[in-house]
Structure 1
């Protein structure tokens, strides 16, 4: 299964089903395919070729998703950059990735300045704003959609070609580009090619930060399953809007990170039953206290709560902890754990082989501190 085959396949199965929803605007799979094909044609006309890198410098939006799919459609390698990084961090990533095109939010002054600086130092970079401007005749994602014919033939990559470039958060040093191939991505949970795709059209997911692994995972797994990606009105994602979207869309599943999860739980004056639709909620990226989990069980009374552990390099969950089980069995000491790697088999994922080693690569004794190393089909290229 190639990323470039996902949208055409699901659009042929469920052409009128919603794929993207922002406020009261909805794009069906048929419309999304048409827009992505037109933008892909525009990219190709600008000289973007297979293997070239395309930067996505904006908060998530339907136009940014269209641009990412369009890059994949011509065999280019998209990578998103978190727009709230400092200008120097953004410049570092752009220099490291060496893109031939940058899709960006031209309404953001800082991002526009970063792009202008890049264009002024490299004659080979195409600057492509998301939205068309009456003041500048340059190409944009909107103008490609409006004027370009659909691309006739989508690129058929080798399964071991790089499909996505995802930059790490930079918590232990400067951000590093992590390369995931089509083959490694098809080993992610919920991406089993045997299921065919388009088989879970009832799925709806809030799309978080597109620049991080969680956002990429939610984007591509939701499209593969034929679900609908929901965009909040503003980013970064806020707890109040998460609850509002849950209530309005009757969401069944929600993916969060530790701080956002805590912010949701700490909200005051929540209406009774506002989150009863949620059947599963996950959190990760930071330790969660027992008190926070206790409060979460009241807010999400019907939900299966999980704490997940992953790395950008793994492309997928390495392990997860069932919070419900910890409370049901009275084993609250387990809340200090991130679970067992073998448990991810429940989600149709082949478990990782995990070791904790010292600086020489030797396994450390139980109870000692070391570095985590993993082996599995989902790991990044070159790990």
Structure 2
């Protein structure tokens, strides 16, 4: 057997060395490393009793809470694959993830049971349903009961994981209209943690804040898993609230936090933020969105001790591929920095050749934290790794010092509030409306969210539809953030001679 790289080994290491060290603090309740290790082992035994086996996928549909992390550890403990699910998705989208992944268990937040019930109604196959909380409705088992049932059979030893064994499945918007399951291995996570610990120097006395959703690699991997690798403590907020974040930082003396650009904007819009003592923060990891210099200067005054580390990364690489050096944010305005440890980054032209500094090229990546492929999609995996490097679909430019700027996207992708939206995914739903002949969805700049999706629609001859009607049609099948914010009706979509829709023209219009 190859070296065991199961993520649970990290938890066990700290549970042995510093058993009373808090791993999470949630709504005033502390969970230590030793408690998390014992609970996740018992939950793993309970899930095993319900039929979960090594290699099985365990879906995690929950707002932020310690039980979400417990279930993630439990899935890995029994040799399974954890699958965090975006709770902003609509029921048909959640259903697709459960069906495509072949999940055999679903751990769900009590407040999301209605969504889960709608998503699993009539679902073929056996699915163990576990509700987070002391009470569970018909058809569900309460997580404390499942954990308690496994306590007698709980084994502190986890199922060993080879480096390439899948630790986690993360579904990301696919440009072909359906989400793709990103297979992140135990080795991917281990190498990511090493790179980020070297980058930021996190230690046991650091105090992180997980205020972004833990279904997203930003909050989960740029904050939580790296800090757990360091044996540090993470304060967990159930959901993002700008005022609550500022209060928490000031009260608890938080040292590091990941914030998407929209979250930064919300914090900086608070009327009293400039008067608050936020000097404890030494690292803010941000999503790499170009900001005006006056805003940067305000951020630096508000967080006087912080390294504002603009970053670039993808779900396929466990996030955090490049970081902007401390003190370089104005000198290299708009740059997302240079590659982290053990990651090779290059820019290629259409012929697969490296481009010179100052020239545009597709960002390609190679290294041990790059994912192993897409779940049940060999064709997409082969395309993504053409030439032996992972093709990101992002277009970048590098300067002579190796700093990277992201300037365009090859992929049909909209980024709204840190969430990826495939235009084709929204178009697929629009085409299901009987009045729609043609549809194209693009991103429109938005001061709050960065971008929002908007639709351009041509109706069939003799058919009519209103913008409100099409938006309502999308609401029933798509997450709220994917629903077009506006619909523009056109006679026909602009196309090139080969028939491809010219979305660049629509964005400009």
1:84 aligns with 2:84: no
In structure 2, C-alpha distance between the alignment counterparts of 1:63 and 1:202, rounded to whole Å = 23
Larger radius of gyration: 2
- Partners of 2:227 and 2:143 lie apart in 1 by 23
Query: Does 2:136 correspond to 1:131?
Result: no
**TM-score relative to the length of structure 1:** 0.87
Aligned match of 1:222: 227
- Residue 46 of structure 1, aligned match among 50, 60, 68: 50
2:262 to 245, 256, 259: 259
Range that drifts further, 275-284 or 175-184: 175-184
Contact 2:60 2:107 in 1 (8 A): yes
Give CA-to-partner distance per residue, 1:135-192, whole Å, 9 cap, x none. Answer: 5474222212334315213111112211111222558854221111112221114469
How has the CA–CA distance of structure 1 residues 78 and 246 changed in structure 2, closer, same or farther, with 3 Å as cutoff? same
Q: Which residue of 1 aligns with 2:14?
A: 10
Q: Deviations over 1:292-340 (max 9, x none)?
A: 211101110111111011111122422111362344xxx3xx2122122
For residue 82 of structure 2, give the secondary structure of its aligned residue in structure 1.
Answer: strand
Aligned counterparts, 1:1-383, within 5 A = 1-108=5-112, 110-117=114-121, 120-133=122-135, 135-136=137-138, 138-149=140-151, 151-152=154-155, 153-169=157-173, 173-190=177-194, 200-207=203-210, 208-217=212-221, 218-232=223-237, 234-235=238-239, 237-270=240-273, 272-284=275-287, 286-322=289-325, 324-327=327-330, 331=331, 334-341=332-339, 344=340, 349-350=341-342, 352-364=343-355, 366-382=357-373, 383=385
Deviations 1:316-368 (A, max 9, x none): 422111362344xxx3xx21221222xx3xxxx22x22222344433456545
What is the match of residue 379 of structure 2? none
Cα distance in 2, alignment partners of residues 314 and 113 from structure 1 = 32
Distance apart, 1:216 and its partner CA: 2.8
Over 3 Å counting, the alpha-carbon distance change for 1:325 and 1:360 in structure 2 is closer
Distance 1:9 1:243 in 2: 32
**Any idea what SS the aligned residue of 1:107 has?**
helix
Indicate the structure whose relative CO is greater, using CA pairs within 8 Å and at least 6 residues apart.
Answer: 1
What is the alpha-carbon distance in structure 1 between the residues aligned to residue 26 and residue 146 of structure 2?
Answer: 20
SS at match of 2:317: coil
Deviations 1:117-147 (A, max 9, x none): 2xx2223211211123265474222212334
Structure 2: tracts of 5 or more residues without a match:
374-384, 386-509
Q: Cα 1:370–1:298, aligned 2, differ >3 Å: closer, same or farther?
A: same
1:379 to partner: Cα distance = 0.5
Higher strand share: 2
CA distance in 1: counterparts of 2:136 and 2:182, whole angstroms = 37
Asked if the contact 1:104–1:111 (Cα under 8 Å) also holds between the matched residues in 2, the reply is: no
Q: Which runs of 4+ in 1 moved over 3 A?
A: 134-138, 169-174, 189-194, 362-370
Counterparts in 2 of 1:252 and 1:169: CA distance versus 1, 3 Å? farther
